[in-house]
Amino acid sequence: MARKKKWSDSWTKKAKEQGYAARSVFKLEELEKRFAPLRGMKRFVDLGCAPGSWSHYITRHNHKASVVGIDFKEVNSYPGTFYQSRIEDMDPQIVRTDLGGIVDMVLSDMAPNTTGNRLTDHVRQLELADKALDFAVSVLRPGGRFVVKVFDGEDIQDYYMRVKKHFSTVKRLRPKATRNTSVEFFMLGLDFKKNPSSQN
Just list the catalytic residues. Answer: 149
Look at the alpha carbons of 179, 24, 86, 35 in this order and tell me if their dihedral is positive or negative. Answer: negative
Angle at 155 between CA 69 and CA 124, to 5 degrees: 45
What are 187's strand-pairing partners?
A: 148, 172
Instruction: For residue 173, give the H/E element and its range.
Output: strand 167-173
DSSP string, 132-165: HHHHHHHHEEEEEEEEEEEE-STTHHHHHHHHHH
Rounded CA-CA distance 168/55 in Å is 25
Residue 94 CB neighbour total at 10 angstroms: 14
Cα–Cα distance measured from residue 40 to residue 54, given in angstroms and rounded to the nearest whole number: 17
In which element (H, E) is residue 170 found?
strand 167-173
CB within 8 Å of 177: residues ≥ 6 apart: 11, 23, 24, 26, 27, 30
